A and B are shown apart, each in its own frame.
Chain A
Amino acid sequence: MLGKPNIIQWIKVSVTLIALVAIWELACRVFDIAPYLLPSPSAIASRMIEKPMLFWGHGWYTLYETFAGFILAVIVGLIAAAVIVVIPSVRDVLMPILLIAQLVPKVAIAPILLVWFGYGIMPKIVIAFLVAFFPIVVNMANGLVSVEKELLDLGRSLEASRWQVFWKFRMPAALPELFSGMKIAITLAVIGAIIGEFVGGDQGLGYLIIIANQELDTPLAFAALVVISLGGIILYALIEVLERIAIPWGQPLQQPRAAS
């Protein structure tokens, strides 16, 4: 997203962040803010150090839901996008439906999914899948049709088969769009999993936040939030790394297209 990582920029960002955390810490001490209102960074950190296994266990659970939902979204999204692009009659029907479905707040479906799938891991994966699915389909479909007209003419002039056109012309052309869709999707999948845990269940970092809130253990809630954020950043970074490997020919898209 930022092009080549710039060392100086990194330093600037890090210094700013550290400064903000220091001001926060200082403010909590100077104004003697009650921990249940706003815990100091040190209080949050000590919570994390006190019970590492707690975060580890719940973290894995949430990560698992996120990842399962995300992978499912990529697989189903890729297939849906391919069908939409390759079969025009399907596109005309499916595209408007998808756009309408995209407007349905998936979060509001969460309680219903609980009724259908119970309190286990399943409804969380389904919600993560639902929210991650749309950016993948929309971006991938856009990517698959982004092939230059002249390039498609070249394919026709060589009498390339549909299959060849798809794999040699459309798929590679779509990769940058696919990755920008995946970057949006992974952050949404985290949100989906957490929402699922909010609604019902007994595991995961979202569940941990709910429990912490009920006990007015705000430092614990903040600690869970930090872990969630770190997890999200790591997943996002992983996709960026994958992108650089998969697209060696140059710049990825400048900005992930907002699809949701």
Chain B
Amino acid sequence: MGAAASTAAGSLMSLEASISITDLRKIYVTRDGALTSLDGVTFDIRPREFVSVLGPSGSGKTTVLKIVAGLEKKTSGDVRVDGKEVTGPQRKIGIVFQVPALMRWRTALENILLPSEILRIGREAAREKGLETLNLVGLSDFANRYPNELSGGMQQRISIARALAHDPSILLLDEPFSALDMMTRNQLNIELLRIWSEKKKTSLLITHSIPEAVFLSDRVVVLGPRPAKVLEIVNIGLPRPRTPEMRMSKEFIEIVDHIGRRIGLEYA
């Protein structure tokens, strides 16, 4: 759907990135036979939309992200970014992994500058952009610290900054906060909300936290247990800009409750 809109105007392509996934299947061949991980997953992400894929552990939700990122091959189906079939990794995508995956031999700023080095972006411009991104994630004071001097939450913020530093049009987040404690996680949810409001990147978040998905997303794609199918795509009607207080609202709790029941029923 977003395909037609984005391919029409080349210059708008990076600004108006979209993702469309149709009937995606992934079958792993293991020693015990074929294992179906994704069984016909269909959804799309409109330009500048924030969509979460929510599912229980082992539901194959990370596989969706890896296939969109071009890091893993699909078995069948159609996956398009900006209307173009995904055939491999592409630089217009920034990824945040489950672990910070920082280079421990580089300072915070140097870690953020890594993508621009690989893409051979001019040193001065890259540095300026890097400092700006570091500021965006609120870690300007830690530019010259090594990762092992930073807390887990800070490391993951550096990782988010690194994903944004080369200004990709799409942001993929693979359970970025699942290794953090509850309080840090809540805080980083608020941070991510703020960052997204400033940058408005087309975003795909993989998570198993229902409140996290509801709080951040425009829509939530609920996956069932293995083999994963889309149970429901929930429109999150909460207005933007969102505030932390909204997590206490009746509306928010109702949506969380609804999704919880939807997943619970599937397992009953």
Q: How far apart sit A13 and B248, CA to CA, in the bound complex (Å)?
A: 62
Chain A residue with Cβ nearest B172 = A157
Distance to closest chain B CB from A204 (angstroms): 39
A201 in the interface, Cβ–Cβ < 8 Å? no
**Chain B residues whose C-beta falls within 8 Å of the C-beta of A157 in the assembled complex:** 69-71, 89-91, 93, 95
Distance to closest chain A CB from B117 (angstroms): 7
**Which of B97, B106, B119, B146 neighbours the largest number of chain A CB atoms within 10 Å of its CB?**
B97
The prevalent SS among residues of A at the interface is helix
**Chain A residues whose C-beta falls within 8 Å of the C-beta of B12 in the assembled complex:** none
B99 in the interface, Cβ–Cβ < 8 Å? yes
Q: How far apart sit A156 and B73, CA to CA, in the bound complex (Å)?
A: 14
B119 touches which one: A156, A158, A172, A247 (CB < 8 A)? A158
**Chain A residues whose C-beta falls within 8 Å of the C-beta of B99 in the assembled complex:** 148, 150
Interface residues of A in 124-163 (CB under 8 A from B): 148, 150-151, 153-160
**Chain B residues whose C-beta falls within 8 Å of the C-beta of A169 in the assembled complex:** 103
With A148-B101, A151-B103, A159-B89 in contact, do A250 and B148 touch (Cβ < 8 Å)?
Answer: yes
Distance to closest chain A CB from B171 (angstroms): 12
**Chain B residues whose C-beta falls within 8 Å of the C-beta of A46 in the assembled complex:** none
A249:B119 contact, CB within 8 angstroms: no
Chain B residue with Cβ nearest A154 = B101
A164 in the interface, Cβ–Cβ < 8 Å? yes
Q: How far apart sit A126 and B99, CA to CA, in the bound complex (Å)?
A: 45
A175 in the interface, Cβ–Cβ < 8 Å? yes
Q: How far apart sit A153 and B99, CA to CA, in the bound complex (Å)?
A: 12
Contact mask for chain B residues 56-87; partner A; CB cutoff 8 A; 1 contact, 0 none: 00000000000001110000000000000000
A158:B118 contact, CB within 8 angstroms: yes
Q: How far apart sit A247 and B71, CA to CA, in the bound complex (Å)?
A: 31
A29 in the interface, Cβ–Cβ < 8 Å? no
B71:A156 contact, CB within 8 angstroms: yes
**Chain A residues whose C-beta falls within 8 Å of the C-beta of B115 in the assembled complex:** 158
A151:B101 contact, CB within 8 angstroms: yes
User: Interface size on A (CB < 8 Å)?
Assistant: 21
**Which of A151, A160, A249, A251 neighbours the largest number of chain B CB atoms within 10 Å of its CB?**
A249
A168 in the interface, Cβ–Cβ < 8 Å? yes
Contact mask for chain B residues 87-129; partner A; CB cutoff 8 A; 1 contact, 0 none: 0011101010111010111100000001101110000000000
A168 touches which one: B93, B117, B146 (CB < 8 A)? B117
**Chain B residues whose C-beta falls within 8 Å of the C-beta of A154 in the assembled complex:** 95, 97, 101, 114
**Chain B residues whose C-beta falls within 8 Å of the C-beta of A250 in the assembled complex:** 104, 146, 148-149
**Chain B residues whose C-beta falls within 8 Å of the C-beta of A158 in the assembled complex:** 89, 91, 115, 118-119, 166
Distance to closest chain B CB from A20 (angstroms): 38
**Chain A residues whose C-beta falls within 8 Å of the C-beta of B114 in the assembled complex:** 154, 168
A190 in the interface, Cβ–Cβ < 8 Å? no
Q: How far apart sit A156 and B69, CA to CA, in the bound complex (Å)?
A: 10
Q: How far apart sit A148 and B148, CA to CA, in the bound complex (Å)?
A: 15
B97:A247 contact, CB within 8 angstroms: no
Distance to closest chain B CB from A88 (angstroms): 19
With A150-B98, A164-B118, A168-B114 in contact, do A159 and B148 touch (Cβ < 8 Å)?
Answer: no
Chain B residue with Cβ nearest A157 = B89
A150 touches which one: B70, B90, B97 (CB < 8 A)? B97
Interface residues of B in 8-55 (CB under 8 A from A): none
A155 touches which one: B70, B106, B118, B166 (CB < 8 A)? B118
**Which of B69, B89, B117 neighbours the largest number of chain A CB atoms within 10 Å of its CB?**
B89
**Which of B93, B104, B119 neighbours the largest number of chain A CB atoms within 10 Å of its CB?**
B104
**Which of B99, B101, B106 neighbours the largest number of chain A CB atoms within 10 Å of its CB?**
B101
**Chain A residues whose C-beta falls within 8 Å of the C-beta of B93 in the assembled complex:** 157
**Chain B residues whose C-beta falls within 8 Å of the C-beta of A160 in the assembled complex:** 118
Further pairs besides A150-B98, A153-B97, A156-B89: 5, Cβ < 8 Å: A151-B103, A153-B101, A154-B114, A172-B106, A249-B146
Across the A-B interface, give the 7 residue pairs with the lowest CB-CB distance, nearest first: A150-B101, A150-B97, A172-B105, A249-B146, A157-B89, A158-B118, A160-B118
